Chain A
Amino acid sequence: MTLPFIVFFVCAFLAVLGALTLILAREPIHSALALILVMVSLAVLYLLLGAEFIAAVQVIVYAGAIMVLFVFVIMLLNAGIEERTDFSKLAKYAGLLLGMFLILFLAHWMAHSLIGQQVASGVAGTNVSVATRDLSHQLFQTYLFPFEATSILILIAILGALVLAKKDE
C-alpha cells in the first residue's frame, strides 16, 4: 500500500460520500457543501494523476466560484428544507437498471481502452506531470478555434440569462 494508493481510496470514498449526501440531504446548504466535497476530492484525484493545473483550475472554478454562487443564492433566497414527493415507480426501477448498465459499460470501457490499461498497469499517473506551458500551447495553438468557440458559447449563455431575467417594461 503506497501513499498515493491510500490517498486515492480516501478521496474516492469522500467523493462517493459527497455525491450520496448531495442527493439525500434535505437542507439545500448541506447539499451544496456535499457538492463542494465532491469537487475538492476530484481535484485531489487529478493531482494524483499528475495534472496539477487541472486540479487547481477545478478548485478555483468549481469549488471557488460556481459553488460560492450556489451557496450565495441559497442564502439569499433563504431556501428552507426540501419537501419530498413520492418517487415515481418507473424512475425507481428503470433508473436502477440504467445505472447498473452505465457502471458495467464504464467498467468495460476502462478495462479495454488504452488509457484504462495504462492506468491499471501503473504507466499513466505516477510521475507524469503535464507542464502548464505545454497545456497552454495545446489550448492556444492546436485547439484555438474550439477554445474560442466555447468562450463565445458561454458569453451567449450569459446574455441569454440576462435577457430572461430582464423585467418587461
Chain B
Amino acid sequence: MDFVTQHPVLVVSLAKIVGLMFLLMTTLAYLSWFERKVIAHIQSRWGPYYVGVHGLLQPLADGVKFLFKEDLTPPGADRFVYILAPMLALTLAMTTIALIPFGPPTVQWLGQSTLIVADSSIGLMFVFAITSMGVYGVALAGWSSNSKYPLLGGLRSSAQMISYEVALTLAVVGVVLLSGTLNFNAMIESQRGYYYYFIPRWNVVPQIVGFLCYFLSAIAETNRAPFDLPEGETELVGGFHTEYSSFKFAMFFMAEYANMITVSCLATILFFGGWLSPFPDSWTVMRYLPPAGLLALAVYLAYDTVVLARGIYRIQLIVVTIGALVIGLACLHPVVLTVLQGPFWFLLKVGLIMFFYVWTRATLPRMRYDQLMSFGWKFLLPVSLANLMITALVKVWPLLVNHG
C-alpha cells in the first residue's frame, strides 16, 4: 500500500493502461461481430448465429482460428519489415486511444483523473501525429511481401492516405478556431450549453460542412468502403495484406477497427460534444438512462429465454440475462451512476458513428481510383479550405468591426 501512496501517478497510469487495453481488445473483437451482424441484417440475412447465442462467441472462435492457422512468409520477403509492418499498424492504431477522454476530468482516483490515460495540452496534435504514422503499416506490408498485388495496394494506400490527410486536418482546424484550444477536455467544455434552450451547443451545428468533410476523409483515411481501394478484391486480390496469414492478418484487421474507433472518438469529441449529455442538467430523469437501458435489455433477454431459445442457447441466455440484470442494478448505485454519465454518452455517440461506418459499407459500391483522387483533391480540399476561411472570418469579424 505504501508504494501506491508514494507513486500515485505511476500506479494510476498503469491501472488505466491495463484496463483500457483489456476493454479495447474486447471491443475490437466484438466490432467484427457487430459489423457482420449489421451488414447481414441490412442484406436480409442473419449473420453469425451458431457459435453462442446470437453468434456472441463468434469473435472468440475467430481468434482461436487465427492463432492456429499456419503463419506463412512468402519467399524473397524482407523478413524484418514483413514482421514489423502489422505490429506497427496495430501499435500505432491502439496508442491514440490513450489520448481520448471518456469522461469529465472531475472523475478522479488518488488525485488523478481516471477516464483519460494521457491528458495532453495538445491532444489533437498528438492524435494527428500518431495517425499520420499509420500509413507505414500498410505501405511497408505491401512492399515487404515481395509480390505485385500487395505492392500496388501499398502504393495506392500511401497515395490515398497522404491525399486525404490534408482534407482531414483542414476540416478539423475550423473546430480548433471555434474552441481556441487543442486540449480535448477544454474543447468538450467549450461545447457546453444550448441554442434556444434545447439544441445542444455542439460544434456540429456551426461546423456542419467541416464535419461532413472530416467524416468523408476519415473513411478514406481508415481505408474503409467506399474508399477501400488498398484492398480492392476485384483488382488486387486482397491488396496490401494478400500475403499475410494467421495472426499477422488478424493484427491488420484489428488495426483497421482500432483506427475506426479513433476517428469516431475524434468526431465525437470535436463535433458532438464528447462526454456531454444532450439533455440539460435539470432533466435528472435522464441520469437513469444507462441502468434503464440495461434493465430493458435484461427484460427482453428474459422474454427471449422463456419463449424463443432452446437447448444450450437457453442456458447461455440465462447467464447473459443475469449479467445484464446485475450490471443494470449495480448502475443504480449513486456513485456508479455519477461516474457512468460521461462514458455512457461518449460511448453511445461513438457507437452511433461506428454504425454509420458499417451502414456506408453495406450501402455504397467502391469508387474508382481516379474518382477517389479527384474527389479528394478537387472537391474535399477546396471545400474544407473554404470552410476554414469562413470560420476564421466569422471569428475575427467582431475584432475587425471594433477596430474600424
Contact = CB atoms under 8 A, between A and B. Distances in A.
Interface string B103-145: 0000000000000000011100110111011011001101110
B154 interface: yes
Contacts of A129: 121
A57 B158 CA distance: 20
Interface string A18-60: 0000000001011001001000100100000000110111011
Given A68-B158, A72-B159, A132-B121, A29 B143 contact: yes
A44 B363 CA distance: 43
B347 interface: no
A29 to B, nearest CB: 6
Main secondary structure of the interface of B (DSSP, over half): helix
Nearest to A67: B136
A33 B78 CA distance: 13
B13 to A, nearest CB: 11
A12 interface: no
A75 B129 contact: no
A75 B158 contact: yes
B135 A68 contact: yes
A167 to B, nearest CB: 20
Chain B contact-residue range equals: 20 to 34
Interface residues of A, number: 27
A90 interface: no
A132 B180 CA distance: 11
Contacts of A36: 136
B140 A71 contact: yes
Nearest to A52: B122
A46 to B, nearest CB: 12
A76 interface: yes
Interface string A54-96: 0111011001110011011001101000000000000000000
B153 to A, nearest CB: 11
A60 B132 contact: yes
A56 B155 CA distance: 26
Residue of A27, A36, A65, A68 with highest tally of chain B CB at under 10 A: A68
B236 to A, nearest CB: 15
Given A52-B121, A53-B122, A65-B162, A75 B132 contact: no
Interface in B32-84: 78, 80-81, 84
B81 A59 contact: no
A131 interface: yes
Contacts of A132: 121-122, 182
Interface string A120-155: 000000000101100000000000000000000000
Contacts of A75: 139, 142-143, 151, 154-155, 158
A129 B183 CA distance: 14
B142 to A, nearest CB: 7
A56 B81 contact: no
Interface of A: 27, 29-30, 33, 36, 40, 43, 52-53, 55-57, 59-60, 63-65, 68-69, 71-72, 75-76, 78, 129, 131-132
23 contacts: A29-B143, A52-B121, A52-B122, A53-B122, A55-B129, A56-B122, A57-B125, A59-B129, A59-B130, A59-B132, A60-B128, A60-B129, A65-B165, A68-B158, A68-B161, A68-B162, A71-B158, A72-B139, A75-B142, A75-B143, A75-B151, A76-B155, A132-B121
Please list the 10 inter-chain residue pairs (A to B) with the smallest Cβ-Cβ separation, ordered nearest first.
Answer: A64-B132, A56-B125, A59-B129, A72-B158, A56-B129, A60-B129, A75-B143, A60-B132, A52-B122, A68-B135
